[in-house]
Amino acid sequence: MPKPPGLLELALTFNKIAIASFGGGLSAWSREVVVVERKWMTEEEFLSALTICRILPGANQVNMAVFVGVKFRGIVGAIAATVGLTFVPVLIVLAMAWFYFTYSKVPAMKSVLHGMTAAAVAMTFAMAFKTGKKCLQSPIGIALFVAMFVLSAVLRMPLVYALAICGPLALWWGWPRQPRAEA
């Protein structure tokens, strides 16, 4: 594992993630930068952290910035990573909001938004494919994935209810067990 990043490096890295993923795909970019480029976490650590970040209240990637920041530099690291993730995007969103409300009647604006949506969906599928290859290697893992997909995407069940159904099964399946001592 490389040496822990400094506060500025945490802030700049999460700023890079935020800017690169503008319009969607934040989880995919986080994985790419944190796991592949920086090697701050293994694939397994990232997936575990992402799972925790997704079931906790708040924005998933803000939670991830806090998680990574605390891992390396404690509370100050969490603040640096969160500021890095949010400061520039807030400025960009404010500017774009002004632009949108000023020019919202222009037909080209709708085309731009459709293109951004397509890119965000593609990034989400790319991340799901890359992480799925790693964690969906058993029939039970695949069954849990299918169950969550059906409950949330097909049946449109609220996430909290789908987690209440599948969560305990996933915890039971994934919980580390002591090897049995042979007599």
Encode 13-43: b = buried (16+ Cβ within 10 Å), e = exposed: bbbbbbebbbebbbbbbbbbbbbeeeebbee
Q: Which of 153, 128, 108, 139 is nearest to 24 (CA)?
A: 128
pLDDT for residue 180: 59
- The residue ranking higher by pLDDT, 64 or 3, is 64
User: What are residue 91's phi and psi, to 5 degrees?
Assistant: -60, -40
Residue 24 pLDDT level (bands cut at 50, 70, 90): low
Query: Does residue 11 contact residue 3 with C-beta atoms inside 8 Å?
Result: no
**In this predicted structure, what is the pLDDT of residue 36?**
93
- Which of 3-17, 43-57, 111-125 shows the lowest mean pLDDT across its residues? 111-125
Listing DSSP states for 96-159 in one string gives HHHHHHHHTTSHHHHHHHHHHHHHHHHHHHHHHHHHHHHH--SHHHHHHHHHHHIIIIIS---H
Model pLDDT, residue 134: 72
Q: What distance lies between CA 37 and its chain's CA centroid?
A: 16
**183 pLDDT higher than 60:** no
Q: Report whether pLDDT(91) > 80.
A: yes
Q: Global pTM? A: 0.60
Q: Which residues contact 171 (CB under 8 A, 6 or more apart)?
A: none
Q: Could you state, in order of their start, the residue ranges of all structural domains in the chain? A: 7-105
Q: What angle do CA 178, 179, 180 make, to 5 degrees?
A: 110
Sign of the alpha-carbon dihedral angle for 178, 71, 67, 47 = negative
Please tell me which residue, 71 or 124, carries the higher pLDDT value: 71
> Which sign does the torsion angle of CA 115, 131, 136, 54 carry?
negative
For 113-160, write each residue's pLDDT tens digit. Answer: 777 777 777 777 777 777 777 777 788 888 988 898 899 889 999 888
pLDDT greater at residue 75 or residue 118: 75
Contact 34, 41 (CB under 8 A): yes
